[in-house]
Chain A
């Protein structure tokens, strides 16, 4: 029969299991940060520098201010230069062109040294694994100091010129010197400035008035604003103008017709005038011959008498036994029609 394992032994085993578990957890936490980078696909690139300014393995590689890789290896070449191999993330590879340049820089005023990739033309193909970068000309501290020394000399020369200029001005030489020393010129300048100030004030007022007018014109409900902003009024105006054009054409035609009518009337009037002035024509005779007029007058008088007598005869005829019935019948028919 197998001996049952002692409880202390089992507890120790469980304790060992706990320790191993904690150790694995701790190891994974500590290494996961660097392992994350291990899963990224990278390519290698090289560059050969005369001086790397303390660059070490693990320093960063920047492209346009973004970290894209790290320095992997630093070795000397046969000609005493420094060859640096650095890895670049494959994700950034497409953005870095073959004509891009590298230089050793730092990530701040007193920061770590880094490799800085810059430049590159869009038309040039992207870098490939093992690409050899060209080196950007570096400005050494000595060169910078030389430039600064030259700048200092220039500044000294400028300040000397300024000094002589100021001395001349103080002595009243040149335009500025005269301006500062000459009282009359100062007075004229003051007057001119006052005039300019007044003109500016007027201009300001004018601008203010213009602004007010513009605001009024731009105010809602204003005709100009309505015309400028209303989308419906323009077609309406267009239609109105078109209608006015048609009306104008019609009026033109009407005026032509009226003119023709007036011409015809003038012609007719001339004809009538000619006929009335001609004593041989029937109208001329009627208008100018006194004898004919007298005859016509008598004829009309006779016609009136005849008419009066005919009325009397007709009244007598109504009372005649033979015709009375006919007139009564006629009167009845008239009444029926009226009803």
Chain B
């Protein structure tokens, strides 16, 4: 039987309240972002931490993605005798989809969990409360800087990942077809248009914002001591990845209107 205090049931209500709290948190973030005082130093520090911590992982992942994707695509194209299309085919896939997606998934694991755990531990050890008491706005100092840093750094990492993936593609193509570097560049970027780059940027910005805001939200609302910290870190990764895939569907749909 439905309780008087609940709209549907406690479980469904809690799920709906989660949406409301998430929306509130996003509104709070924008409100604090456009306020006068901006923690620029902390923002730069977070940009460095996010970029630096993910650089090696993204380099390796990007390179392997490009190399393996090319290797896997070759047999299909060989059936039609169209291996010369390999650079352009793989480049389109990397620029339009793989680079933003791979980068954001790596960052969701690396950066999202880090933000969730960091803010979660600060929350459960009442450091955030202490900041409030000492007249430091915790949202402005902790949330705004981290969300903006991930929103800006992840697009940069995306292009770096794309570059590394293209290196992997070139290595595989030059090993397989003995293609020169200039011929590879000509074939690879012949079919890339400005809209493809814009799509990649839009995706990377959206995914960066998602990773930052989800990590901060989960960490900022952590509870139940050290167990809560782990749950916050885990939830931020799972939720970020889930939202990234959902966003992918909608961004592809929207950008395809302009094609």
Contact = CB atoms under 8 A, between A and B. Distances in A.
Interface in A1-47: 3, 6, 8-9, 11-16, 18-19, 22, 26, 29-30, 32-33, 36
Interface stretch (B12-20, B116-124, B126-134, B161-169): B12-20
Contacts of A30: 249-250, 253
Contacts of B7: 9, 12-13, 16
B5 interface: yes
Contact of A26 (B5, B6, B8, B250): B250
A110 interface: yes
Contacts, number: 61
Contact of A11 (B8, B17, B254): B17
Residues of A contacting B: mostly: helix
Contact of A15 (B4, B5, B19, B250): B19
Contact of B20 (A15, A26, A32, A33): A15
A246 to B, nearest CB: 75
B254 A12 contact: no
B6 to A, nearest CB: 7
Contacts of B21: 11, 15
Nearest to A32: B257
B254 to A, nearest CB: 6
Interface in A139-164: none
A109 to B, nearest CB: 8
A29 B6 contact: no
Contacts of A18: 16, 19-20, 22-23
A97 B256 CA distance: 32
Contacts of B20: 11-12, 14-15, 18
B19 A19 contact: yes
A15 B253 contact: no
A8 B5 contact: yes
A36 B17 CA distance: 35
B250 A29 contact: yes
B152 to A, nearest CB: 25
Interface string B224-259: 000000000000000000000000011001101100
Interface in B9-58: 12-13, 15-23
B194 interface: no
A36 B253 CA distance: 13
Interface string B79-116: 01000000000000000000000000000000000000
Contacts of B17: 8, 11-12, 15
Contact of B13 (A8, A22, A36): A8
B257 A33 contact: yes
A11 B19 CA distance: 9
A12 to B, nearest CB: 4
Contact of A33 (B6, B23, B80, B253): B253
Interface in B181-204: none
A30 B20 CA distance: 24
Interface of B: 4-8, 12-13, 15-23, 80, 249-250, 253-254, 256-257
Given A9-B6, A9-B13, 18 more contacts: A3-B4, A6-B5, A8-B5, A8-B17, A11-B13, A11-B20, A12-B7, A12-B17, A15-B13, A15-B20, A18-B20, A18-B22, A18-B23, A19-B16, A30-B253, A32-B257, A33-B253, A33-B257
8 contacts: A6-B4, A6-B5, A9-B5, A14-B16, A15-B16, A19-B19, A29-B250, A30-B250
